[in-house]
Every structure is written in C-alpha cells, then in structure tokens.
Chains A and B, each alone.
Chain A
Amino acid sequence: MTVDRALDRDVALVDLLDRLLAGGVVIAGEITISLADVDLVHVSLRALISSVSTLVEP
C-alpha cells in the first residue's frame, strides 16, 4: 500500500485532474465565465492524453 500526501508537489497530475475537472462546485449562471461544461473537460482531457503520449513516445 502506498500513501501520497495530497499537498505534496508530487501529487499525480491525473489524480488532481480527476478532482479539479470533474469535482468541485459547479456554478452555472449568466454572470460567470465558467468552463465547467462537461464537453470542454472531455476536449481538454483528449488533448492531455495526446500531449502525454507525445511526451512519452517521441
């Protein structure tokens, strides 16, 4: 069993993004410029995946 202290800099980005992009209070309303919409999350994760693959497999 491994335990990572979540405040450490070495928190896995993928674990952090699970929470930041799919967790947290979503506030929708005309006064916000919120990027909380699910579509965008998928778009950015796709980009993230392709970026990571590019980094790993040059």
Chain B
Amino acid sequence: MADALVYLYAVTDAGLPEPAVDAGVDGARVRRVVGHGLAAVVSSVDPVRFSEESLRRSLEDLQWLETTARAHHAVVDAAARSGPVAPVRFATVYLDDDRIRGLLAERGAEFGAALDRVRGRVEWGVKGFAVPSAAPGEPEPAPGAGPGASYLARRLAERNRAARGQEEALAAAEAVHRELAAVAAASRRYPAQDPRLTGRREEMVLNAAYLVADDEALRHVVEQHAAGTVRLELTGPWAPYSFATLEEP
C-alpha cells in the first residue's frame, strides 16, 4: 500500500498550539509539521482518495465538496483562534512531511510576511443586494394610443426602470465598497455569487472581503447604509482566507 499523503490546511507561527479540533478532512487527525519558525497544519490522508485523479473527480461531487470544505474550514478556523494563520488553497496535498519542511524552508520568509500582514486582524465579508426600487411614476401612454402601443410603452418603461435601478444599485455598491475599504487594512472583491447558489432573487451587487483589526468602524459603515439602495449583509469573522497570499494582495 502506498504511503499516506499530507493535506496542508494552513501555515502558522511555530509557537501556536495544535488547533483544537477533533478531526480534519476525511476524519483524519490534525497535526503540525514545524520548521523555520513556522508550523504547517496538516493531516495524513488516504493516498487513493486524495490522489490528483480522485480529487478532480471528488470536486465534482457536491456532497464531498461540502463535507470536505467544512472540515477544512473547521481546522483553519480553530487555528485562527490562537494566532495569525496563512490559510492554504483548498485541496493542496503534499507527498510527505519532508516536502512540507522543504516548503517552509523555501518560502519561509514569504509566509512570515503573510502572517505579519494578518497578525491581529480578521476578515469580514460584506455582501450587497440591490433593493428593488419603488416604482416611480410611469409616463402615461400617449392619448389615443392603441392597447398594443400602451402595452409596449409599459414594457419599455419597466425595462428602463429596471436598468436604472440596477445602475443605481451598482453605483451605490461602489460607494459603499470605497467607504468600507477606507476603514480596512486591505480589501478584496469577489465575483457576484450566482443566484442559483444563493437562492436569492435580488441581484448581488457587492461581494467583498475586508481585513480589519477591529470591526467597529466596518459595522458603523454598514449600519449607516441600512436604509440605502443596497441591502448589506455582514459575515464573519473569517480566518484571513482572502488576504494571506504570498504575493501582495
């Protein structure tokens, strides 16, 4: 039987304790590989189920993806509660512990810089949804216009109103983002989530992450926009998934 592979969740300071979590992905025990002042948070995983070929297949399985993503998150989140973490991209697997030590040796300075960037800070997510605008007065169809013409005029007015509403919501989202970014150490935009995934009918006009030491200013901005044309939702605190990158974000 082939040797176990090593699943890498995150890199932390060497001084951090083992993450307080029962199990990682695939029910595997979570442990640390320490070197160069850093600790890699890892699990030994099944060499067949976590081979490149199996992973590519498994990633297409929603059930597997959800279970494994939540297990990955539980480990990263537990680690983040005791100190700065640099989360690693989902489904990153190494051949053995020696390769992990090699990574810490080769990229140690970059990981150190990434950890310093997020030290004492957490990530908050802000999503913004366009609030369906109240219908402004529609222009009456011209007198004498037939039923067909007035139907078309109504449809046109509806379409114009929807387009205008969307433009306004997008502009408002940009303004909100600038305000949020101004009170954050760093920010990152994500593409709008697919309505089929969110199950929401309103259009998503903002999907962003903000890195902050203290969420008070961020909350203040969100509350100030509570009655605006964009309905804001805050999620977090998250481990700094969006900001612990090895290149400048």
Contact = CB atoms under 8 A, between A and B. Distances in A.
B52 A21 contact: no
Interface string B81-110: 000001111111111000100110001000
Given A1-B223, A13-B69, A51-B62, A18 B190 contact: yes
Given A16-B73, A25-B114, A44-B60, A34 B93 contact: yes
Contact of A44 (B52, B59, B241, B242): B59
Given A9-B70, A16-B73, A31 B197 contact: no
B170 interface: no
A49 B196 contact: yes
A22 B77 contact: no
Contacts of B66: 13
Interface of B: 5, 8, 11, 50-52, 55-56, 59-60, 62, 65-66, 69-70, 72-74, 77, 86-95, 99, 102-103, 107, 111, 114, 125, 127, 188, 190, 193-194, 196-199, 207, 209, 222-223, 226, 232-239, 241-246
5 contacts: A4-B235, A5-B237, A17-B65, A25-B111, A49-B197
Given A3-B235, A7-B77, A20 B69 contact: yes
Contacts of B11: 25
Interface of B, helix, strand, loop or mixed by DSSP: mixed
A47 B62 contact: yes
A4 B70 CA distance: 15
Interface of A: 1-7, 9, 11-27, 29, 31-36, 40, 43-45, 47-49, 51-53, 55-56
A18 B90 CA distance: 11
B130 to A, nearest CB: 16
A33 B93 contact: yes
B233 A2 contact: yes
Given A14-B197, A25-B246, A49-B196, A20 B207 contact: no
Q: Which of A13, A16, A53, A55 has the most CB of B within 10 A?
A: A16
